[in-house]
Amino acid sequence: MSKDNRITAGLLEDGCYKFSIVKGNNSELVRRVLETRECWSEMPDKYNTTLFSFKWCPISRYCHFEYLSSHGHKNMVNHYERHD
């Protein structure tokens, strides 16, 4: 895989990264930081499924690890699977 393909693997249809924030555990701070980044935009709550590049969750229960990378692009979350 070329370097360019690895960089663009997380981009969605419009060429920008999408993020999803679940309230709690410094979620507003993370939101403010991500909103300052170019080409990053928040997914509306009704689309808060697996169509994101990054998801911030207060606890790992809200991170559905079985669905990560299920839409042909890589998804990232702020927790490790099976880490309590």
pLDDT value of position 46: 59
pLDDT value of position 11: 58
Q: Which two tokens stand for residue 29?
A: 């701070």
- Which residues, given as ranges, of the chain have pLDDT below 50? 1-9
Sorted by sequence, the CB contacts under 8 Å of residue 62 that are 6+ apart come out as: 22
pLDDT value of position 2: 42
pLDDT value of position 61: 78
Give the separation between CA 81 and CA 66, rounded to whole angstroms: 9
pTM of the predicted model, to two decimals? Answer: 0.69
pLDDT value of position 6: 41
